[in-house]
Amino acid sequence: MKKRFDVITIFPEVVAPYAEASILGRAQKNKVIAIAAHDLRTWTTDKHHKVDDSPYGGGPGMVMKVDVIEKGVKALKVRRPAGRKVRVIVTSASGKPFTQQDAKRLAKYDQLVFICGRYEGIDARVEEHVADEAFSVGPYVLTGGELPALVMIDAIARHVPGVLGKKASLEEESHGPEGLLEYPQYTKPEVYKKWKVPEVLLSGNHKKIGEWRKGKQKAAR
């Protein structure tokens, strides 16, 4: 069953170029996953296609409307076949930090719907009543939620069977099962500007190479 990633945004053109490139693009061509960006304005009912309004209580900026967002989420969830597991995620600077363990857990769902904020933010009722989880990808503020959504989609998709060519690639990379960062990697040329590849990696002794790599791994902070 193909895994779906749906992104609700007012800038769908931001999502497509990354989603169609490299590993994600190949996984879509192979029908392992599907990534679709949806314009939030699709679910507006006024002639100006308004998706935001001024905040109650006053203050700068505009806030994205709960009614329009909920309509979008409901429309996307209705499309799923019966029995599919769906999770709705909102990108938020105040959300919990997104981790590798979250990526692994969310990869078990059949459909993930991402809500991307813009302007001053999203009506808090979206996080309280529409979304299942709110995530942040770091202690900083971005212009919109599209980049965080793509970060999470990329990390999650890597755990979907068939997306990566080799299972070992996933097991050995940083933040893997043992919670360690990946060991240093080297390739040709063997010597560049007097910078040499460690001798042990040229020895052909796989036991020693394994020990060296394990010794070079660091615990993830």
One domain for residues 178 and 117: no
Q: Please tell me the distance from the alpha carbon of residue 26 to that of residue 32, in angstroms, as a whole number.
A: 9
* Residue 138 sits in the same domain as residue 70: yes
- Identify whether 163 is part of a domain: no
- Binding-site residue positions for S-adenosyl-L-methionine: 117
Helix axes 22-29, 12-19, angle to 10 degrees: 80
Same domain, 148 and 183: no
Whichever domain contains 32, its CATH number is 3.40.1280.10
pLDDT at 2 over 60: yes
Return the higher-pLDDT residue of 116 and 217.
116
134 close to 89: Cβ distance less than 8 angstroms: yes
Q: SS3 sequence, 73-115?
A: HHHHHHCCCCCCCEEEEEEEEEEEECCHHHHHHHCCCCEEEEE
Claim to verify: residue 150 and residue 61 sit in the same structural domain: yes
Looking up residue 187, the CATH number of its domain turns out to be 1.10.1270.20
Q: Judge whether 162 lies within some domain.
A: no
Residue with tokens 């692994």: 104
- Same-domain status, 18 and 94: yes
Residue 5 has pLDDT above 80, yes or no: yes
The better pLDDT of the pair 221, 6 is held by: 6
Beta bridge partners of 204: none
Residues 150 and 179 occupy one common structural domain: no
pLDDT tens-digit readout, 45-100 = 999 999 999 999 999 999 999 999 999 999 998 766 677 899 999 999 999 999 99
Same domain, 120 and 202: no
* CA-based torsion, 70, 72, 73, 79: positive or negative: positive
Q: Is residue 205 scored above 70 in pLDDT?
A: yes
Residue finishing a domain among 128, 157, 186: 157
pLDDT at 197: 96
What's the token pair of residue 5?
């990633």
Residue 190 lies in domain:
174-216
Q: In this predicted structure, what is the pLDDT of residue 84?
A: 85
> For position 180, what pLDDT does the model report?
80
What is the model's pLDDT at position 181?
85
- 196 and 107 in a single domain? The answer is no
pLDDT of residue 119: 84
Q: Which residue in the block uniquely carries the two structure tokens 């998706």?
A: 51
As for how many domains the chain has, the answer is 2
Please tell me which residue, 215 or 181, carries the higher pLDDT value: 215
Eight-state DSSP code of residue 175: T
Q: What is the pLDDT of residues 157-188, one digit of tens each?
A: 999 999 997 665 555 555 555 568 889 999 99
Last residue of one domain, picked from the residues 132, 157, 182: 157
Nearest Cα to 153, choosing from 106, 86, 110, 195? 106
Q: Does residue 30 form part of some domain?
A: yes
Nearest to 136 by CA among 98, 99, 88: 98
Could you tell me which residues are annotated as the binding site? 117
- Do residues 139 and 211 both lie within one domain? no
Is residue 25 located within the same domain as residue 122? Answer: yes
With respect to residue 165, please indicate whether it lies within any of the assigned structural domains. Answer: no
Mean local confidence (pLDDT), 136-148: 95
Greater model confidence, 126 or 177: 126
Asked whether residue 166 is domain-assigned, the answer is no
How large is the average pLDDT for residues 92-115?
Answer: 96
Please, what is the average pLDDT of the chain?
A: 92
Give the whole-angstrom CA distance, residue 182 versus residue 201: 15
pLDDT at 220 over 80: no
Assess contact for 148 and 137: CB atoms under 8 A.
yes
Domain match, 142 and 182 both: no
pLDDT at 173: 59
